[in-house]
Amino acid sequence: MTKNTYKEALAHPIFELIATSSKELGIESYVIGGYVRDFLLNRGKGMDIDIVAVGSGIELAQKTASLLSHKPKVQIFKTYGTAMLRAYDREIEFVGARRESYSEESRNPEVASGTLQDDQNRRDFTINALALSLNQDDYGQLLDPFGGIEDLKRKIIRTPLNPDITYSDDPLRMLRAVRFASQLNFKIERESLQAISKNRDRIKIISKERIVDELHKILRSPKPSIGFGLLHQTGLLKIILPELTALEGIDEIEGQRHKDNFWHTLEVVDNIAENTDDLWLRWAALLHDIGKAPTKKFDSKVGWTFHGHEFVGSKMVYKLFKRLRMPLNEKMKYVQKLVLMSSRPIVLAQEVTDSAVRRLIFDAGDHIEDLMTLCEADITTKNPRRFKKYHNNFKLVRRKMKEVEERDHVRNFQPPISGEEIMEIFNIRPSREIGIIKDAIKEAILEGEIPNEYEPARKYMLEKGRELGLEPVKE
Ligand code: ATP
Ligand code: MG
């Protein structure tokens, strides 16, 4: 084993305190896992720090807390033998070094206390098993029993022990492997990849919440297609998101082909990842075409069609969120809305009229910017001429949108005349006519027949009222 020290990784004052506490308790302690990995990769963020104590992690946490001037509360998780405290800007997790043994049905192992090496053995990947000593005689020394440093350099995800057993023991690790590959742009080593394919069905014992957590992290990564490609390659995607794998493939009838909507989707997600960090907009990109599988038809006159796929897709979003136990809240509605509207700007780009632009802004409301971002990401043509043309079309749409919005303010449309006012003017009670008049005013504004202003709307209302046989009692 190489003997490298990385004292600079321990510059944060918390490490001195943990070292002092360990010494006073007469136990050894180490920084391990994500913090060490991210330090070596220069991935600055590393808010969480994981500490392993060869002894009681809970006692070490309590001792450390007592040395801190703000005396933070120590959260103890007895069942797991872990403790957590917040100090400075960090969350610090303490665990006692342990050995684990697994049973078939559950990913919760039997645990017994062990050595540092035992604890490193139970870690998921070599790059996550790296530990730095907080002990006096070798402070800052790196303990790397499985060649994790080498794997960091070679950009490889590899398990410390037999991959088949590692993934079978805790199938969540399969998703973690894919997620780290996507976040770090690493390769999953061949044997690991095979073991994941072999064990993919065991993903079924993992809770939906955990699965979704990892999907979020893959979607948030710089190039999500790395992760989704690996999920697809290992067969996990078909189990987790069959709506997506259903999009794969190209059919040909009478010499006519359509594009492969699965690989197209992954390109769209990568494109959008360059323009937004918004998780839900990225979800919308991932799901924007899912309605294409169930709506696909061939018509010998027009070729392949996917009529109504946006509507069908938006309904599928609900079912998918429900199945994955994702919250059925505003975020879900947002994704549904973007999927539902995903073709609107494309249709519009072919003939940009003021009224079509007003309708688009009216229907999309505050999501209009996101919708445009989605549509621009949707351009995946490999023909440079078309690529440029489509982007230029959208630039024109955006310019027109700005113009129309500055003039007509339909983005958060408030009817210039309220229902109450209509009732008062015609001296009528709540009735169908009021809805008709209000709707007619809205339509006239969107069509550009009248401006979005009070006086013209009032005049228009009087006309409409007369058509309906209503006489104003005041003008
Ligand atoms: P990040 O916090 O960026 O997601 P991390 O590596 O810190 O990455 P955590 O989930 O915080 O991941 O876990 C901390 C450490 O615990 C990991 O580095 C790894 O050593 C170990 N670990 C976490 N989950 C597992 C698991 N399912 N199987 C084995 N070891 C795990
Ligand atoms: Mg972490």
Ligand with smallest separation from the Cα of 38:
1
The preferred substitution site among 128, 130, 199, 220 for testing ligand 1, maximizing ligand atoms within 8 Å of CB, is: 128
Q: Are residues 141 and 52 in the same domain?
A: yes
Q: Are residues 45 and 159 in the same domain?
A: no
Q: Ligand 1: does its nearest atom lie under 6 Å from the Cβ of 214?
A: no
Look at residue 412 in the predicted model and tell me its pLDDT.
82
Q: Are residues 64 and 122 in the same domain?
A: yes
Q: Ligand 1: does its nearest atom lie under 6 Å from the Cβ of 119?
A: no
Domain-located, residue 145:
yes
Cα separation of 213 and 219, whole Å?
Answer: 10
Q: Are residues 146 and 14 in the same domain?
A: yes
Q: Ligand 1: does its nearest atom lie under 6 Å from the Cβ of 123?
A: yes
Residue 1 pLDDT more than 60? no
Provide the CA 34 distance to its chain's centre, in angstroms. Answer: 21
Helix (H, G, I), strand (E, B) or coil at 74: coil
Q: Helices in 111-207 by DSSP H: which ranges?
A: 116-121, 148-154, 163-169, 172-184, 190-199
Ligand with smallest separation from the Cα of 161:
1
Ligand with smallest separation from the Cα of 214:
1
Percent of the chain's residues with pLDDT above 70: 99
Q: What is the CATH number of the domain that holds 229?
A: 1.10.110.30
Per this entry, what is the length of the chain?
A: 475
Between 252 and 63, where is the model more confident? 63
Query: Kind and range of the H or E element at 119?
Result: helix 116-121
Mean pLDDT calculated for residue range 388-401: 94
* 408 C-alpha to ligand 2 centroid (Å): 50
Query: In whole angstroms, how far apart are CA 63 and each of 12, 17, 54, 56, 75?
Result: 18, 9, 15, 11, 13
Contact at 8 Å (CB) between 159 and 12?
no
Cα separation of 95 and 425, whole Å?
Answer: 74
Mean pLDDT calculated for residue range 390-417: 91
Domain residues for 61?
7-152
Provide the CA 58 distance to its chain's centre, in angstroms. Answer: 34
Considering Cα of 181, then 184, then 187, then 188, what sign does the dihedral take?
A: negative
Q: Are residues 198 and 223 in the same domain?
A: yes
Contact at 8 Å (CB) between 145 and 117?
yes
Q: Ligand 1: does its nearest atom lie under 6 Å from the Cβ of 22?
A: no
Domain-located, residue 29:
yes
Cα separation of 450 and 457, whole Å?
Answer: 7
Q: Ligand 1: does its nearest atom lie under 6 Å from the Cβ of 141?
A: no
Taking residue 447's Cβ as centre, other Cβ atoms within 10 Å add up to 12
pLDDT tens-digit readout, 4-43: 999 999 999 999 999 999 999 999 999 999 999 999 999 8
Q: Ligand 1: does its nearest atom lie under 6 Å from the Cβ of 172?
A: yes
pLDDT tens-digit readout, 156-207: 999 999 999 999 999 999 999 999 999 999 999 999 999 999 999 999 999 9
Amino acid identity, residue 299? Answer: D
Q: Are residues 27 and 124 in the same domain?
A: yes
Token pair in block for residue 232: 């697809």
* 374 C-alpha to ligand 1 centroid (Å): 33
Q: Are residues 22 and 129 in the same domain?
A: yes
* 179 C-alpha to ligand 1 centroid (Å): 11
Measuring from atom 17 of ligand 1, which residue has the nearest CA?
Answer: 33
Look at residue 408 in the predicted model and tell me its pLDDT.
85
Q: Ligand 1: does its nearest atom lie under 6 Å from the Cβ of 309?
A: no
Q: Give the model's confidence band at 45: pLDDT under 50 very low, under 70 low, under 90 confident, else very high.
A: low
Provide the CA 75 distance to its chain's centre, in angstroms. Answer: 29
Mean pLDDT calculated for residue range 212-233: 98
Q: Ligand 1: does its nearest atom lie under 6 Å from the Cβ of 120?
A: no
Q: Are residues 171 and 126 in the same domain?
A: no
Look at residue 2 in the predicted model and tell me its pLDDT.
55
Question: End of a domain among 240, 258, 287?
Answer: 240
Mean pLDDT calculated for residue range 44-61: 91
Between 45 and 148, where is the model more confident? 148
Q: Ligand 1: does its nearest atom lie under 6 Å from the Cβ of 148?
A: no
Residue 419 pLDDT more than 60? yes
CB burial class (10 A; 0-12, 13-18, 19+) of residue 445? buried
pLDDT tens-digit readout, 109-129: 888 889 999 999 999 999 999
Identify the DSSP state of 254: T
CB burial class (10 A; 0-12, 13-18, 19+) of residue 26? exposed
Between 165 and 100, where is the model more confident? 165
* 34 C-alpha to ligand 1 centroid (Å): 6
Closest-lying ligand 1 atom to the alpha carbon of residue 107: 27
Question: End of a domain among 190, 217, 240?
Answer: 240
Look at residue 110 in the predicted model and tell me its pLDDT.
87
Domain-located, residue 462:
yes
Q: Are residues 80 and 182 in the same domain?
A: no
- Left (φ > 0), alpha (ψ -120 to 50) or beta: where does 249 sit? left
Domain-located, residue 117:
yes
* 390 C-alpha to ligand 1 centroid (Å): 43
Look at residue 198 in the predicted model and tell me its pLDDT.
98
pLDDT tens-digit readout, 317-344: 999 999 999 999 999 999 999 999 999 9
Q: Are residues 129 and 26 in the same domain?
A: yes
* 13 C-alpha to ligand 2 centroid (Å): 19
Q: What is the CATH number of the domain that holds 124?
A: 3.30.460.10
Domain-located, residue 356:
no
Domain-located, residue 257:
no
What is the count of structural domains for the chain? 3
Residues 6+ positions from 279 with CB-CB distance below 8 Å: 216, 219, 220
Domain-located, residue 209:
yes
Amino acid identity, residue 182? Answer: S
Residue 284 pLDDT more than 60? yes
Q: Are residues 59 and 102 in the same domain?
A: yes
Residues 6+ positions from 258 with CB-CB distance below 8 Å: 250, 251, 296, 303, 304
Query: In whole angstroms, how far apart are CA 425 and each of 431, 435, 474?
Result: 14, 15, 6
Q: Give the model's confidence band at 101: pLDDT under 50 very low, under 70 low, under 90 confident, else very high.
A: confident
Domain-located, residue 408:
no
* 33 C-alpha to ligand 1 centroid (Å): 6
Residue 463 pLDDT more than 80? yes
Q: Ligand 1: does its nearest atom lie under 6 Å from the Cβ of 169?
A: no
- Provide the β-strand partners of residue 112: 99
Helix (H, G, I), strand (E, B) or coil at 188: strand
Question: End of a domain among 211, 240, 269?
Answer: 240
Q: Are residues 143 and 162 in the same domain?
A: no
Q: What is the pTM of this model?
A: 0.93
Contact at 8 Å (CB) between 296 and 308?
no
Look at residue 89 in the predicted model and tell me its pLDDT.
83
Look at residue 46 in the predicted model and tell me its pLDDT.
64
Measuring from atom 2 of ligand 1, which residue has the nearest CA?
Answer: 34
Look at residue 475 in the predicted model and tell me its pLDDT.
65
Q: Ligand 1: does its nearest atom lie under 6 Å from the Cβ of 33?
A: yes
Measuring from atom 12 of ligand 1, which residue has the nearest CA?
Answer: 34
